Chain A
């Protein structure tokens, strides 16, 4: 059997690491022998996360809502709609997979029923439909996990809030034409464990998406949902930046500064509102400012939604809100994939496990309350011990705490992968959004992400993906 511990030993053990200068390369000079320290970013905390007492949160466009609903400010997803009990609302839009589509059609009754589906739908090739799903005796229905948000008989539609009849005749609230649900994974007000606004991509399955009001950004801007928060970009996706050299309401970026940075200009006639104001660069030349700080794009950015400009000292990406820093035991590492990942205290990359079953209900199988059959197959060929050896849990030390709501310590039964019962011997593991996180035995050093893509559909469907904070070549920091 292949051992991941041995998989990647070739380069890490056999080869000398040497230092050579460009001048030496030019002349073919003798190579010197000295190791270069790993790239360090002393400013990573403020780069990706906001402090617990920071007031930053995303403002939104207020709209009329039916009685009983509210808007809740959440740490990762920003403002979301919730019911009267504080449960976050989700939609399940139809989406095409490889061999067909499922989900709710706009303006049509819910496809999420109380039937316990027993066989696969065959939506993800190459496997056929009709395969018996695992753990049938404990398998929930779609409604068990996604209770519909029912409307009282006398409820009245308001704006985008409409009522759609379920097959049993009950009225179900819908927003923007899509039926609304709560999630059994959300336990407290502000939990958004059922889904995310980040784009799961086609092979991640047909996912549930939290519903909320539109962010209050002026025309010409939009929000990119990343693993670290809500980044502001221009309409065409260019990241915007602020500079420590500016004062509130004043730009000091002129002459040489403008060779690398371009002010984000505002129309001549513009309405200032909330966080968004304008400054006068020159008579008739308006520049957008966010929370008082003038905004720029970086002339050397590569592609859209980028962090390159924040590598320049004193310059920062701009967020409406960022998440709070992960627990102290976690670190940030440069990785050869190109960018940075969240890592454990040894610098080993943190992985999250993604899973959605192949039924028409597309139920999540990525958390300890769901079947573990899929994860066990991938991480250990069904063997829990091999699974733990290949993808070890990240053990939380005694007394560890998290200021972030996203991070918690979970008691896990090591043999089943489910939550441990009270009093049962268990592992105390770190969990992100109520899902344990892992490292990979084949990552023999910091700076590698060898398990990214490990599993079905390159880790998106039933497998492991690195916890990416910055991907210089792709968009993995904008994927769940």
Chain B
């Protein structure tokens, strides 16, 4: 899908969700409060047809290809020196150089936000002409098939979210006087407890469902941001760290931590769409990948976690360690879609794990 067509599709989706159901739309904002439940999430990857612009040298190799290169057929290898070495190093990566070439995404364009307020030599231009877009994660994952549209991570990250309420991510706006222009609103993130509510076609999600806020187990996913709405676009100030759940079936853990994170969402009373951008913590990114995606599944998308981790470290551009000076986080953007939902708070007191300072 081209960037233009994706933008058009996004606009059409939002328009479709905005039109109709006016009675519902009129009711969604109540007492200055409106909630949304996430229905789609995808690490932002700017793609051209066949990837020839951003990946002129092709896509990166994955575990299967790397294994074949390290251990060519015709010789006998032990499990210790081959499989177990590879699997062990995935979790205990030494600082040695990657023996394989790593293809970073090329070109001037990327989705994302200008996180540092500057325009630097490594920054991108957004598809709508925005300058200074910070998204070095795109440089790392843009030529890994798994993260591209239809790739195994790109697809299952959203698809597995549908059936696993562990991943149910909610945002709630409070203090809203006007959904089009409001200079001060509060955005609180939560994990929800309920399934998504599909529409009559079974292929899309309907606004107006109820989501119970998880304040017992999901405390660490509660964050609060300050924001404003200008011409129907919500922007928030960055928050030190935001944690959101992301787990695959059968795994009893999984999340990302994003530093300096902020939301930029087109809002209606029926849907919200846009990006969450910030500096994703490199170590927790790789840990989530290693514990939620088996080498077998990474192989589907030619995704070598070890090679990617080295690239993330190399390209990290934020939150330098105070002692070593090494950057610990990498600029990034997640494309998100939400539909409106009525959030139910089961108890009066809610613990906020992190908030804007």
Contacts and interface: CB of A to CB of B under 8 A. Distances in A.
Interface of A: 1-2, 6-8, 10-11, 14-23, 25-28, 31, 36, 39, 98, 120, 124-128, 130-134, 201, 203, 302, 334-339, 341, 358, 373-374, 377-378, 380-382, 386, 442, 447-462, 465-466, 468, 471-476, 479
Interface stretch (B102-110, B197-205, B283-291): B283-291
27 contacts: A2-B92, A2-B286, A6-B283, A7-B287, A10-B241, A10-B257, A11-B241, A19-B350, A22-B350, A25-B350, A26-B32, A27-B174, A120-B79, A130-B76, A133-B79, A134-B79, A302-B194, A339-B217, A358-B79, A381-B92, A452-B252, A455-B87, A456-B294, A458-B248, A459-B291, A461-B294, A468-B252
B91 A381 contact: yes
Nearest to B174: A25
B273 to A, nearest CB: 24
B236 to A, nearest CB: 14
A8 B92 contact: no
A453 B291 contact: yes
B262 interface: no
Nearest to B347: A22
Contacts of B88: 377-378, 380-382
A471 B221 CA distance: 17
A450 B287 contact: yes
A377 B84 contact: yes
A127 B283 CA distance: 26
A36 B219 CA distance: 10
B353 A126 contact: no
A18 to B, nearest CB: 5
B76 A474 contact: no
Contacts of B355: 16, 18, 31
Contact of B252 (A124, A130, A449): A449
Which among A15, A130, A132, A358 has the highest number of chain B CB atoms within 10 Å? A15
Contact of B253 (A377, A386, A453): A453
B253 A132 contact: no
Contact of A1 (B95, B175, B281): B95
Contact of B294 (A381, A457, A471): A457
Nearest to B350: A20
Interface residues of B, number: 78
Given A25-B188, A26-B32, A336-B217, A11 B353 contact: yes
B184 interface: yes
B251 A452 contact: yes
Interface of B: 31-33, 63-64, 67, 76-80, 82-85, 87-89, 91-95, 164-166, 172, 174-175, 184, 186, 188, 193-194, 214, 216-221, 224, 240-241, 243, 247-255, 257, 259, 281, 283-284, 286-287, 290-296, 299, 345, 348-355
A448 B253 contact: yes
A2 B283 contact: yes
Q: Kindly list the 3 A-B residue pairs having the minimum CB-CB distance in the complex, ordered from nearest.
A: A453-B291, A28-B175, A381-B92
A389 B119 CA distance: 43
Main secondary structure of the interface of B (DSSP, over half): mixed
Contacts of A134: 78-80, 84
A87 B115 CA distance: 65
Contact of B291 (A21, A454, A479): A454
Given A373-B84, A378-B91, A458-B251, A20 B352 contact: yes
Nearest to B219: A336
Contact of A11 (B193, B224, B243, B348): B243
B252 A476 contact: yes
A190 to B, nearest CB: 30
A337 B284 contact: no
B184 to A, nearest CB: 7
Nearest to B293: A458
Contacts of A1: 92-95
Contact of B78 (A16, A18, A131): A131
Nearest to B296: A125
A37 B247 CA distance: 26
A2 B281 CA distance: 13
A80 to B, nearest CB: 27
Contacts of B241: 10-11, 14-15
A427 to B, nearest CB: 22
Contacts of A455: 87, 91
Contacts of B80: 134, 373, 377, 382
Contact of B348 (A22, A341, A380, A454): A22
Contacts of B165: 302, 473
Contacts of B290: 453-454
Contacts of A15: 240-241, 353-354
Contact of A126 (B64, B78, B247, B354): B64
Nearest to A386: B92
Contacts of B252: 335, 337, 339, 341, 449, 452-453, 465-466, 468, 471, 474, 476
Contacts of A133: 78-79
A473 B352 contact: no
A460 B296 CA distance: 13
A338 B240 contact: no
A398 B84 CA distance: 36
Contacts of A31: 224, 352, 355
B353 A17 contact: yes
A451 B166 contact: no
A132 to B, nearest CB: 4
Contacts of A335: 217, 252
Contacts of B85: 377
Contacts of B78: 131-134
A124 B76 contact: no
A380 B291 CA distance: 16
A456 B292 contact: no
